[in-house]
Amino acid sequence: MHLRSTLTRTKEPFVSLVPGAVRMYTCGPTVYRYAHIGNLRSYLLADLLRRALLARGFDVLHVKNITDVGHLRDERFDRGEDKMLVAAKLEAKSPEEIARFYEATFHADEALVNILPAHVFPRATDHIDEMIAMVERLEDAGFAYAVQGNVYYDVSRFPGYGSLSGNTLDELRAGHRGEIEADKRDPADFALWKRAGEGRLAKWPTRRWGEGFPGWHIECSAMATKYLGEQFDIHTGGIDNVFPHHEDEIAQSQALTGVLPARYWVHGEHLLVAGRKMAKSAGNFQRITDLAEQGIEPLAFRLLCLTSHYRAKMNVSDESLHGAQAGLASLRARARAIGREAGSSAAGGLAAGGLAGPTGGVAPGTPGPDGVVPPGKGTANPAALSAPARALFERWTAAVDDDLDLPKGLAIVREAAKASHLPAAERRWLLLEADRVLGLDLAREINAGAAAAATAARDSGDQSPGTPPDAPLPAGAAALLAERAAARTGKDWPRSDALRAELAAIGVDVVDRPGGAQEWRVRDDVT
């Protein structure tokens, strides 16, 4: 696998610090408001990367912090309050009540788009002692200085400052706008700890500086070090985290340890609406739950994100969302058709044997020891595939390994789903294998198709032992069934009727059931 590291600005082969294991940190939400779909796109990057690593056989430890204090994006604009406290005043709740409410909605929203939960969600307010200790160490080492209860990082002491973002100290000083804090030695210095203003609710005592609260950047340095060690494998976040947040994290952590805190820095680009970054102030704020009012499922939004590379800006519109919903319906229909065909096929060591699923015989959806349903580790064995199917699998793997090129990978998956020249069991295996990374719950659709095949067999009364419950679908029938399901989803009734006639002509009779499901039966006169 190759990943583009923001630090080196090149694609690099991924090599974990510990063979077979990956430690990964993601900058999580500031829980003073709902997460919008732009935020979720950023968290999807970490999810897709984690799933890809799992599919390659790595054990992954994923930490995602919860910022429930501070989040001063630029302390030059701080006037003694932070976003958590502003929200608390506006909603007449305590800061803790605000934090716990929006933290819960964040976890619910991530679950809607099938993001695997991090193994650890450390809260900033639970790690104040670690932050204070780190700031004290920086001060003792001469990298920080205190002025009347405020503690600043002296960027002139860290020669590599600006390497991640490409900034230089001269450029940062020249670009400084607004009034410069009188207690700073340099306008480019940033806050590690801030003195608590009068009446501030969220504050903590210290031995050296009196009551105060942490700067945003020290939070992640302290928590990443505690749970992942002085150096770990991957740090992810949105492109707007590069500066100042991740730049400052590097300066804080490396000053104390002498090593980069993370080997690979991976950042996702913005989600745009009509060319503008999504934000509440821009008036284009949308939650994932808001999309339901437009008839858009959360997994359709996930699919839409898969159609753009994570390093490319992604424009979202009503048209693109509805297109993703139609695309999801089509992919689901093909998965159901493949499940039906594979489930009704007599042949098929693949259907019943070693390639039955992406986890080597473990049923999809089986919870792990921690209660989380994993996408499966790398136990796939494509050796039993035919040469054409193996070629598709190798192309899929190459796309994922090329810096998560999932737009290309998704095109390969669609090609595999339509590959009527391949046995249904092989197409089933390819879709399940790919969905370990895609996370679109295709196993559910495949299983639904298999269940429909079993129901049809039961209704037919053909229950003799060793006899296939239904004849295999004729060549091309699965693709026609998938196309008809998509036409019905789009309420294109003339096309649906035309496809029914085409299927009947090749010996497949289709019956529409209540709720939109279609069932079919291969006529006995088809050989």
**pLDDT per residue rounded down to tens, the chain (527 residues):** 999 999 999 999 999 999 999 999 999 999 988 999 999 999 999 999 999 999 999 999 999 999 998 644 433 334 444 555 565 566 667 778 888 999 999 999 999 999 999 999 999 999 999 999 999 999 999 999 999 999 999 999 999 999 999 988 888 876 555 556 778 999 999 999 999 988 777 899 999 999 999 998 999 999 999 999 999 999 999 999 999 999 999 999 999 999 999 999 999 999 999 888 887 666 778 999 999 888 899 999 999 999 999 999 999 999 999 999 999 999 999 999 998 887 765 333 343 333 444 333 333 444 444 434 445 555 456 768 899 999 999 999 999 999 999 999 999 999 999 999 999 999 999 999 999 999 999 998 898 888 877 777 666 654 333 323 345 677 777 778 777 877 777 677 888 888 888 888 888 888 876 556 777 777 766 54
pLDDT number for residue 415: 96
Q: What are the residue boundaries of the structural domains of the chain, listed by start?
A: 2-268, 322-470
Sign of torsion, CA 205 211 215 216? positive
Question: What CA–CA distance (Å, rounded) separates 24 from 262?
Answer: 8
pLDDT number for residue 309: 98
pLDDT number for residue 385: 87
Position 229: which residue type?
G
Question: What CA–CA distance (Å, rounded) separates 111 from 108?
Answer: 5
DSSP 8-state code for residue 358: T
β-bridge partners, 26: 64, 236
pLDDT number for residue 38: 94
pLDDT number for residue 350: 40
β-bridge partners, 153: 144, 190
In order of 41, 492, 502, the CA distances from 399 in angstroms are: 20, 34, 35
How far does Cα 377 stand from its chain's mean position? Answer: 17
The pTM of this model reads 0.81
In order of 14, 65, 159, 196, 207, the CA distances from 126 in angstroms are: 33, 11, 32, 18, 18
Is there a contact between 448 and 463 (Cβ–Cβ < 8 Å)? no
pLDDT number for residue 505: 86
In order of 245, 402, 504, the CA distances from 267 in angstroms are: 12, 15, 51
pLDDT number for residue 345: 55
Assigned token pair, 108: 């619910």
Which is nearest to 307 in space by CA: 433, 414, 417?
Answer: 414
pLDDT number for residue 266: 98
pLDDT number for residue 513: 67
Sign of torsion, CA 48 313 331 491? positive
Question: What CA–CA distance (Å, rounded) separates 475 from 30?
Answer: 53
Question: What CA–CA distance (Å, rounded) separates 51 from 439?
Answer: 8
Sign of torsion, CA 362 352 332 380? positive
Specify the 3-state DSSP secondary structure of 503. Answer: helix
Is there a contact between 123 and 153 (Cβ–Cβ < 8 Å)? no
Question: What CA–CA distance (Å, rounded) separates 258 from 231?
Answer: 10
Quickly count helices (H) and strands (E) in the chain. Answer: 16, 15
Assigned token pair, 205: 């005592």
Which segments of 163-313 are extended strands (E)? 190-195, 212-214, 232-238, 262-268, 271-273, 276-277
User: How many CB atoms lie under 10 A from the CB of residue 478?
Assistant: 28
pLDDT number for residue 369: 41
Is there a contact between 227 and 122 (Cβ–Cβ < 8 Å)? yes
Is there a contact between 37 and 285 (Cβ–Cβ < 8 Å)? no
Assigned token pair, 250: 């590097």
Question: What CA–CA distance (Å, rounded) separates 130 from 223?
Answer: 8
Please enumerate in sequence order all residues whose Cβ is within 8 A of that of 219, keeping only pairs 6 or more positions apart, or say none.
65, 67, 69, 70, 124, 127, 131
pLDDT number for residue 4: 97
pLDDT number for residue 452: 79
pLDDT number for residue 523: 75
Q: Which CATH entry fits the domain spanning 2-268: 3.40.50.620, 3.40.50.920, 3.40.50.300, 3.40.830.10?
A: 3.40.50.620
Sheet architecture: strand order including 314-316: 276-277, 271-273, 314-316
171: left (phi over 0), alpha (psi -120 to 50) or beta: alpha
